[in-house]
Amino acid sequence: MAGECLMQTISAIDAAHELLKKKLQNALTIVDATAGNGNDTLFLAQNSLESAHIYAFDIQKSALERTAEIVELYRNKVQLILDSHVNVEKYVVTRIDVAMFNLGYLPGGDHAITTQAESTLEAVMKIIDCLATNGLLAITTYPGHEEGLLEYNQLVEYLRNLPMQEFTVACYSMLNHTIKAPVLYLIEKVRR
Ligand SMILES: C[S@@+](CC[C@H](N)C(=O)[O-])C[C@H]1O[C@@H](n2cnc3c(N)ncnc32)[C@H](O)[C@@H]1O
């Protein structure tokens, strides 16, 4: 039907989930750096081992309350952390097998509370430093809003310079959309 809006099945976040699934099968230490409404935390919990431990960060209490509700079934393996992901090393002391950032602001929440370029970059650097060999980090960026564009530019600059002997960095973007469409980056630690 003309003008009908069909469900997207190849969005950046769907692609992130698909690509993380295989790694999750053996992952023990998992980080959701931006828990938000809990959809990603739930995905990580549903697709990981019983013995996995998921650290889910958010700076908004309401976001973690929402996440707690939807991951209720998996509460034994999900640790909700009301703190910035920039403090990741205070909580996660082992190598990280799988991590994800779904940047920006909480859908349906206060758009002024959004991830910030500097702290995001710092947290991404810390997590990359702690990735296990064969570990995978997925970052969904939103260059369509002001802070998101800053964040996107800084991240791309950093990611494109990661040494290829140690990391493979891939990018998934919408070729026929405007430059405002979300872009997914995947960083795999391929060698120690
Ligand atoms: C796009 S939402 C995440 C969506 C979420 N993963 C989901 O499945 O619903 C981004 C989240 O990042 C959170 N956030 C912003 N700055 C943060 C920070 N420094 N540390 C941790 N979370 C942060 C926001 O509060 C917001 O809930």
Confidence of residue 8 (pLDDT cuts 50, 70, 90): low
Question: Is 41 a residue whose pLDDT tops 90?
Answer: yes
Q: What is the mean pLDDT of the chain?
A: 94
Handedness of CA 170, 173, 179, 185 (dihedral sign): negative
Model confidence over 43-91: pLDDT tens digits?
A: 999 999 999 999 999 999 999 999 999 999 999 999 999 999 999 999 9
Which residue's CA is the nearest one to ligand 1's atom 17?
115
Token pair recorded at residue 41: 């935390």
Q: Is 142 in the pocket of ligand 1 (CB under 6 A)?
A: no
Q: Which of 103, 169, 79, 183 is nearest to 131 (CA)?
A: 169
What average pLDDT does the segment 144-172 reach?
Answer: 97
What pLDDT is attached to residue 55?
98
What pLDDT is attached to residue 109?
86
What are the boundaries of each domain within the chain?
Answer: 12-189
pLDDT > 90 in the chain, percent:
89
**What is the topology classification, in CATH, of domain 12-189?**
Rossmann fold (3.40.50)
Number of the ligand 1 atom closest to the C-alpha atom of 85: 20
**Is the CB of residue 159 less than 8 Å from the CB of residue 187?**
yes
Instruction: Return the best residue to mutate from 83, 115, 147 for the ligand 1 pocket (most ligand atoms within 8 A of CB).
Output: 115
| Dist. CA 63–CA 124, nearest whole Å | 21
Q: Is 84 in the pocket of ligand 1 (CB under 6 A)?
A: yes
